[in-house]
A = this chain, B = another copy of it.
Amino acid sequence: MKKIILFILIINLTGPLAFAQKAIADKYDLMPWPKEIRENQSKFVIDSNLTISIHPENSERVHHGAVQFLRRLTDRTGVFLNEGFPVKNKKGSIQIHFDEISKLNIQNDESYTLEVSNATIHIKAKTDVGALRGLATLLQLTAHNASEYFFQGVKITDAPRFVWRGLMIDVSRHFHSVEVLKRNLDAMASVKMNVFHWHLTDDQGIRFESKTYPKLTELASDGLFYTHEQIKDVVAYAGRLGIRVIPEIDVPGHATAFLTAYPELGSKDDYTYSIERFSGVFDPTLNPTKDITYTFLENLFKEITPLFPDDYFHIGGDENEGKHWDENEEIQKFKQKHNLKTNHDLQTYFNVKLEKILNKLGKRLMGWDEIMTPDMPTTAVIHAWRGENEGLTKGGALIEAAKQGYQTVLSNGYYIDRMQSIAYHYGVDPIGDVKLTKQERANVLGGEATMWSELTTSVTIDSRIWPRTAAIAERFWSPKSVNDLDNMKKRLETVSVNLEELGITHIKNQAVILRSMTNNQDISSLLTLTKICEPLKIYARNEDGIEYKTYSSFNLFADACIADAADAYGFNKAVSNFVKDSKKYSNTVLEYLKPWSQNYQAFSQLEKNPKINALEPLSKNVAEVSKLLLEAIQTKNITAKNLQTLKNTIELLKAPVVDVEVALIDALNDLSHYCESNYLKK
């Protein structure tokens, strides 16, 4: 009899069955975790005879996906395949069936089944995009023993929880080339994400070529923009992966770059606009009372919308504080005349006009949640981003929008540029425990991770997005009950290294930065520090937006660090175990402390330069704290003097240095308290 096991039941079960289910979750590093997985006794061995056939053969998506699958499988296993392309008119050992070519809209069916038996693998789906999702799962199933690579026998039945599983990339604050986007699209597809939201304009630059308004390109891009051909190329590339592309033209605020090129559209006549080099919320705003503003946007949208086949079109609409509107007498008069009481009303007036323009062009307007005002038609789509940080409730705008009848997408809680832990993001559920009617639930399309790039260049962007976004992708795809943090972290390790197959640079560029910092010296002592340091969080780096300009260096120690320092999670866990059972866990804690205590010695041997010098106190204090704790735990003894030094040094470590924080402070304090309570001779 086959074992029949549903992962989704795990958390509610105990006893032997739960054990088997836990085993299955430990065994397969799938992400997002599928809806249902059942093991069978088969094993499909990967050898040179492996072939893929596709029925029908008319999907460019599946053909391309199958070729990529074969390349990645070959590279991963070293097995040289006889057939490097799908076999035509015969049955492959991997057989893919689908019913129809997807139109790639929000009605798209992405469900699939995948069945691995000894000699054959079947992937079946309603659409070709569903088939791609099945192929992505199959690749994640690749396993090995000492002598062979294989796929374990399973039957997987899978479908997404949400239809909108997106990643937004801001290409304005820092530009990211087509290649950066393509590799991130590949990575998205590998974890079954299906929306790329392309934030194309902001105060810092307009990133698409305009033939209608060439000054946008000449004066507002610094030469960093996508040609029409490049945009088509990216959209086609995404489409092949089953990813929709939503462009964003952010208006009426965030408009400095627009107004640098066309100041006549601005809300101030006597103002000199120039491309913004700092970060933040700025005053330059389109003038919503002038006809030329709408002529401009209509012509621009007419030029741009044919490049983006998707139904949805994002107009931004966020963070307009209306300062320049308040300062313009004509605009004040206009408000009175049209009975627009507040700037919100004026912006709604603007938004409604934009919606009509977009509707004529066959597009549906989407905007950040500020657009959700009483007069805004429910045909608009609300992108919920504000939350506790902005004085609102967490995810509140999403629920509000869904209840009011708007389609809505959540980004609050998924701002990956804020450098919060993946544990935090993974814990954010779009709906949570809120009770919604069927229609309200249907209004919740899904969510988007947002990669704002004020502090991110093409060298570091992958390390800000990955592997974390894979866990967010799981939140959007998998059943809500899939939420075991330890298990997710374990699977994420495998996902992370597999992302390198797609050229994702999140791991490898860390060493690049450190080699540059050290002028090609041994980087191991700095690598040790990156494993316990994290970039300052929630915009504490570059507070007020004036330390870094867009052209400042992001090739610093903080840029080599990531939001989830590699050793922090394990150490913090070890310490929380240790304070409960010091005997059992002291070795685990000591294993962390030992190399840290010796690291300053290695660091000291580096030939110094200003960048390395800046790390001196951090490096020294980490070693000092580790040494004192090591000695106390090993000897079960600490002197009052050492305890004081320990406390003082932890205090020193609390202060941010070179825009990073040590991700161990709470655990170090816990250890310090433990030493004080248990090891201090009074």
Contacts and interface: CB of A to CB of B under 8 A. Distances in A.
A550 B146 contact: no
Contacts of A76: 516, 555
Q: Which of A149, A178, A507, A516 has the most CB of B within 10 A?
A: A516
Contact of A146 (B277, B551, B613): B613
Interface stretch (A249-257, A345-353, A492-500): A492-500
A610 interface: yes
A465 to B, nearest CB: 17
A548 B144 contact: no
A234 B505 CA distance: 23
A84 B553 CA distance: 11
Given A75-B555, A609-B144, A80 B497 contact: no
B520 A494 contact: yes
Interface in A383-420: none
A227 interface: yes
Contacts of A223: 64
A126 interface: no
A80 B179 contact: no
Contacts of A485: none
A288 to B, nearest CB: 32
A101 interface: no
A267 to B, nearest CB: 27
Contact of A177 (B179, B509, B512): B179
A673 interface: no
B149 A552 contact: no
Interface string A65-98: 0000011001111111100110000000000000
A113 B292 CA distance: 52
A277 B80 CA distance: 13
A78 to B, nearest CB: 5
A519 B613 contact: no
B71 A551 contact: yes
Interface string A608-625: 111101000000000000
A635 interface: no
A145 interface: yes
A78 B611 contact: yes
A501 interface: yes
Give the most central of A85, A177, A500: most B CB within 10 Å: A500
Interface string A227-261: 10110010000000000000000000000000000
Between A75, A277, A496, A501, the greatest number of chain B beta carbons within 10 A of the residue's beta carbon is seen for A75
A515 B507 contact: yes
Contacts of A494: 519-520
Given A229-B229, A508-B508, A613-B147, A74 B552 contact: yes
A364 interface: no
A519 B501 CA distance: 12
Contact of A497 (B81, B144, B277, B520): B520
Given A512-B508, A515-B507, A555-B78, A520 B493 contact: yes
A428 to B, nearest CB: 27
A511 interface: yes
Contacts of A519: 144, 494, 497
Contact of A147 (B177, B222, B516, B610): B610
A84 B500 contact: no
Contacts of A493: 520
A556 interface: yes
A610 B501 contact: no
A482 to B, nearest CB: 22
B512 A509 contact: no
A148 interface: yes
A76 B519 CA distance: 9
A549 interface: yes
Given A501-B516, A520-B497, A74 B144 contact: no
A515 B553 CA distance: 29
Interface in A433-474: 459
B497 A609 contact: no
Contacts of A516: 75-76, 497, 500-501
Interface in A543-582: 548-556
Contact of A84 (B74, B149, B550): B550
Interface in A127-174: 144-149
A14 to B, nearest CB: 31
Interface in A249-300: 277
Contacts of A227: 229, 233
A110 to B, nearest CB: 24
Nearest to A228: B229
A609 B179 contact: no
Nearest to A608: B146
A552 B80 contact: yes
A454 to B, nearest CB: 15
B609 A149 contact: yes
B610 A84 contact: no
A549 B508 contact: no
8 contacts: A64-B223, A146-B610, A148-B610, A178-B179, A229-B230, A494-B520, A496-B520, A505-B508
Given A70-B551, A500-B512, A500-B516, 11 more contacts: A75-B555, A77-B553, A78-B553, A79-B553, A84-B549, A84-B550, A84-B551, A494-B520, A500-B515, A507-B515, A508-B508
Which 6 A-B pairs give the minimum distances between C-beta atoms? A84-B551, A179-B179, A75-B555, A508-B508, A497-B520, A146-B608
Interface of A: 64, 70-71, 74-81, 84-85, 144-149, 177-179, 222-223, 227, 229-230, 233, 277, 459, 493-494, 496-497, 500-501, 503, 505, 507-509, 511-512, 515-516, 519-520, 548-556, 608-611, 613
